[in-house]
A and B are shown apart, each in its own frame.
Chain A
Amino acid sequence: MSAPTVLLDARACERTLRRMADEIVERIGGTEGLVLVGIQRRGVPLAARLAALIEQREGGTVPRGALDITLYRDDLQTIGPRPVVGATDIPVDIDGTTVVIVDDVLYTGRTVRAALDELADFGRPRRILLAVLVDRGGQELPIRADVVGKTIAVMPDQLVDVQVAELDGADAVLITAREPRGA
């Protein structure tokens, strides 16, 4: 098995997130009504990181939440055993807000489709944006990211392995041969 390729190291992750935070504020024209919602699991710490960066730069507080999309997956009838269901926590009323969905990797787009459906069950945001650390291409649905950390074409037999300090000890983005990850 070939050694993993480092796409972003810890320093590069930090720079990328800072730029993404700025881009989010720029696109919305401020932080008014902004809510950051991370997709479980690695989108959640990334959303918290982006929210903290935005707070540093702009002042105020940016609410952050977590979405677990397992119950909204479109492949539940074909896979088994059941995937573990994580916590969903939307701490504010999202009616009329601007929600930024945050995930580590955009691939098929099916996770984002599920996240959009789940968000709709919590309310009706004025606008929803998608921010991802890595867009690896290969979308199977008409879904595109609004704010992207790094765009790279990755072969289907490769895996984009995003590691975050909160869950994995250190920040890094690796390209590896596809194999199931322990987490």
Chain B
Amino acid sequence: MRQLHRQGCASLRAAGLSLLLATLVSGAAFASEAENVVSLQAGAAQMRHVYNGLSVPAADLALQWRRSGGDHAFVAQVEWLHFMPTDTSAALVGGRVGWSYAIGDLPVEPFGGIALGVYAADVAPVLPIGFVGLGVRKRFGRLVAEVAVDGMGSLFAIGINPRIGIGYAL
């Protein structure tokens, strides 16, 4: 019976570890002509439990730093995710790090990436959330505007995290 218990968590642990490794490897994306962009990201999120069907919305606010070299970039952000289950609310405060890839020589740059977030929550001192995202950004001189959608995965749930960002290239 105990073996049966442990099966449920194994795949999540593996997914989390894969994301972490991918994020660490992304450090290799640094190049000599690196660009640093700081942006404010705001959006929403919706997580759905894959077994019990609970679907919970959230508000999302983050301050992001992106350091890119060529098409690759390292991304880090501190973040506040405020979930709103029925009749209550729960704030997750933490951050995420990740790697993104952009096709940078187009008028509107498409980009995609992965990230691993770690948050403090009442239910668990360390709550991991993995992200896989797509977006587009456009430059206006030093200003960068972007729209993105991340898929999210965490404890028995997957979700979506649409957001917009306004950044400044340092």
Do these two chains really belong together in a complex? Answer: no
| Residues of chain B having any CB pair with chain A under 8 Å | none
| Residues of chain A having any CB pair with chain B under 8 Å | none
